[in-house]
Structure 1
């Protein structure tokens, strides 16, 4: 396999892969099915079977559909193209066509930092890390960071190149198992408000530059 082919191999960029939650999702789907059956049997005591079955479906289907949709949600990066699976089909976003690139910090007890890519007609969000008040959290894996950094570095946007450098520094910090305070993404979320419900904060160019 040559270097170009290797660079274009799809890499998963999910912050939390659906497989991690697979056992919990199965239990949730089974519980929803059981509640739906129970609602059907209970309703059948007073109502006709067709109506009772409709009630059971109304109780169970939304939760089962949510479980199925969550299990299908995946993102891959191939070269500069992000492919995102959703419940109904797949959408793509080419980072090379982005006209806006930002880092967004979502405040609250569970703070999240997200890469926002946008064009005039489309937007793609890529979660990069999340941290709790207790100092624990989850960060995008090393290969995902590397591929995202490479894709952003190929852009002509100054903001994209600056964020690429932040991701490279994050990559190096994760690789050497640096303390949280030495990790750019953690420092970014620490600078955001802590009030839940506050709108996401877009880091300025100077704030991004200070992270790398």
Structure 2
């Protein structure tokens, strides 16, 4: 792959498998609905029980769903140069993939199979989903620029397994650009190989399996 200008590489690139903008309105409505339901329940209960009990009941009913929707809306993954950012409701982690001490490819088998890359830097680890596929032969894959930047960041790590995973991502990019069918896309072949084992637990692909995908 050709070299990218430093200014272009330094630009943040989202790695979310599904763009947050697609489900943000749904999450906002869910949070408002949960808060409204909790408040309404609290007001109704205030008529027949003491108001502290009514308030607590309303909060218990509405707050968990509203907090869950807020947590999902806040969750983001993005890459700036070789630094992976992972933001949750309460935390923002930064892992420099160029300093990775471990890199693995995971497959979560099932009716909706997921493929992810798990990167370890020191004592911290982060899972980055890169594709999901259904039994019917459809699915969703990370956008090409995200795959490209993730592959480049992994290739910067002084780690053979990181380079191997990077090679699989590059092969996936080439297959998508060529508009290859699923059977010729490395990430889909990874799910097929795991399904053949009848495994129900997440599977860490061995080095030989990763090399075969590329």
Alpha-carbon distance in 1 for matches of 2:175, 2:110: 24
1:58 CA drift (Å): 1.1
Aligned to 1:185: 187
**Structure 2 residue aligned with 1:84, among 71, 86, 94?**
86
Q: Is 2:35 aligned against 1:16?
A: no
Alpha-carbon distance in 2 for matches of 1:31, 1:7: 41
Q: Could you report, residue by residue, the CA deviation over 1:89-119 in whole angstroms, capped at 9, with x for unpaired residues?
A: 3110111111111100001111001101113
**Structure 2 residue aligned with 1:131, among 110, 123, 133?**
133
Q: Could you report, residue by residue, the CA deviation over 1:119-176 in whole angstroms, capped at 9, with x for unpaired residues?
A: 3411111000000111111100000000011111112111111111110110111122
Q: Is 2:35 aligned against 1:33?
A: yes
Residues 58/197 of structure 1: CA separation in 2 closer, same or farther (3 Å cut): farther
Residues 195/21 of structure 1: CA separation in 2 closer, same or farther (3 Å cut): farther
Please give the residue correspondences for 1:80-119 in structure 2 after superposition, counting only pairs within 5 Å.
Answer: 80-119=82-121
RMSD of the alignment, in Å? 1.8
For the 8 Å contact 2:107–2:194, the answer to whether it is kept is: yes
SS in 2 for 1:88: coil
Alpha-carbon distance in 1 for matches of 2:6, 2:96: 17
Aligned to 2:176: 174
Q: Write out the 4+ residue segments of structure 1 that deviate beyond 6 Å after TM superposition.
A: 194-197
1:40 CA drift (Å): 0.8
Residues 200/52 of structure 1: CA separation in 2 closer, same or farther (3 Å cut): same
Alpha-carbon distance in 1 for matches of 2:60, 2:115: 36
Q: TM-score, normalised by structure 2?
A: 0.93
**Structure 2 residue aligned with 1:198, among 200, 205, 209?**
200
Gaps of 5+ in 1: none
**Structure 1 residue aligned with 2:157, among 143, 155, 178?**
155
Alpha-carbon distance in 2 for matches of 1:27, 1:37: 15
Alpha-carbon distance in 2 for matches of 1:120, 1:110: 31
1:195 CA drift (Å): 9.1
Q: Could you report, residue by residue, the CA deviation over 1:36-82 in whole angstroms, capped at 9, with x for unpaired residues?
A: 12321332232112220121011111111111111111111011100
**Structure 1 residue aligned with 2:209, among 204, 207, 210?**
207
191-200 or 175-184: bigger deviation: 191-200
